[in-house]
Amino acid sequence: MIRLLKYNFSPTIKAFSTMRQGGVSQANYASLNINPYCGDHPSDVEQNRKILCEHLNISDANLIIPHQVHETTVRQIGKELCLMSPSAREMILNGVDALITDVPHVCIGVSTADCIPLLLYDPEHQATAAIHAGWRGTVARIAQKAVESMQIAYQTNPSKLLAAIGPGISLEHFEVGDEVYQTFVKAGFDMEKIARNKAKWHIDLPFCNQLQLQEAGVQSANIQSTGICTYAQNNDYFSARKQGINSGRIFTGILIKN
């Protein structure tokens, strides 16, 4: 049976991260992987999408997954995207790492397997965002760029936003080289807050993104964080660092129900 980690935003919002159980994929993709870009068998991915869409009570065309590239493009999703051909839709979603929408019954989401998934909900304007923040996206402040995009598109007031930080790799298991550490330093991050030296440097990506949201105006009381480490809890969540890149992906999505 499908298992979802759920986020409590509002009765009108369904927000979640998929867990590994409930699909048909095999081996490192077992079992609920809906990402078509990580090497899984296409027919298994298609069947897993069907399972999730049936659970969400939406059509397959209303499940929107970008092809992420660890950059900072934010794409606004309108009703017209759901009516496009698969090839046209794929072109528009290629190279995109964050989605925003105010369209009901459309589930936007991002794929992760150690990177940090973020969800935003604007209750005042009924708008949402799904953000993929790996270390490169975090350095480039993709979370803040998504908030800015919502301000432009929906007149969002950041102080009214509700946010969720989903499962991702923890400081304990996110060991990095000096070059990655220095990239954060050069980008102006407060390393005393987000990094620890344990023979090698470790960086706290979930907390780093929380600080970015707060800097963008999101109230700390409005940010929920799972505290789940994908590396440590690999039985329930995919982890590319533990399993290798040829493995499944968590899907963290948000859906305006009405």
Per-residue pLDDT of the chain (258 residues; tens, 9 = 90+): 999 999 999 999 999 999 999 999 999 999 999 999 999 999 999 999 999 999 999 999 999 999 999 999 999 999 999 999 999 999 999 999 999 999 999 999 999 999 999 999 999 999 999 999 999 999 999 999 999 999 999 999 999 999 999 999 999 999 999 999 999 999 999 999 999 999 999 999 999 999 999 999 999 999 999 999 999 999 999 999 999 999 999 999 999 998
This model's pTM is above 0.85: yes
Strand ranges for 123-241 from DSSP E: 127-133, 162-165, 175-176, 195-198, 200-203, 223-225
Q: What is the pLDDT of residue 67?
A: 98
- CB under 8 Å to 79, separation ≥6 — which residues? 103, 106
Superfamily covering domain 4-256: CNF1/YfiH-like putative cysteine hydrolases (3.60.140.10)
Comparing C-alpha atoms, which of 26, 192, 218, 35 is closest to residue 115? Answer: 35
